[in-house]
Amino acid sequence: MNLPNKLTVLRMIMVPFFIAAFMSENYLIALVIFAAASLTDLFDGQIARKYNLITNFGKIMDPLADKILVYSALCLFLEGGLITGWMLIIILAREFIVAGMRTVAASEGRVLAADMSGKIKTVLQMVGVTIMILGLAFSEQYDFALLIYDIGYYIFLASLLATVYSGFEYVIKNKDVFSV
């Protein structure tokens, strides 16, 4: 297994530790874990492209690892009343549509890689979630932490727009998958 794929697997392994820290309200530890896991996404892609280490495993598992990380955080946010259900529903609906299309394509021996708009969506989600956790981590010590949380929340809202856009773009770009 090459280094980018190891980083992808590491990101998935970090998720339970993030969840445990967040649920025990150790937000600073949760922040460090989430941020570190998010950075593995940046590095695995850069390394894979630079050294031509792109694999089908990476094309499939890298976006899946991102989703496991981000959606774990969003489920925790939903449970804590930090986001509303419709937000998560929009995100999950897009992901189920894309996953369904990838499954059909895979049955034909095709791999549908992530588009740039999907990558932007993921970055906005990771940045928004990271900043929201940062605000939570320091909310008891500093009044401005709520402002930090709000900034993260608005970045997360921007990610919702990117989610809808990237979903439509993905469907239109790969509509031939439906002709099977």
| Per-residue confidence (pLDDT) for residue 20, from 0 to 100 | 98
Which domains are seen in the chain, by residue range?
3-179 (1.20.120.1760)
**Model's pTM, two decimal places?**
0.91
- DSSP state letter for 178: G
CA distance 26 to 109: 44
Q: Is the dihedral of CA 94, 99, 100, 102 positive or negative?
A: positive
Single out the residue of 128, 110, 123, 124 nearest to residue 173, CA to CA: 110
Render each residue's pLDDT in the chain as its tens digit; 180 residues.
999 999 999 999 999 999 999 999 999 999 999 999 999 998 998 999 999 999 889 888 988 899 999 999 999 999 999 999 999 999 999 999 998 998 898 888 887 877 899 989 999 999 999 999 999 999 988 888 989 999 999 999 999 999 999 999 999 999 998 885
CA distance 76 to 69: 11
**CA 72 to each of CA 3, 15, 16: distance values in angstroms, whole numbers, following the listed order:** 24, 8, 9
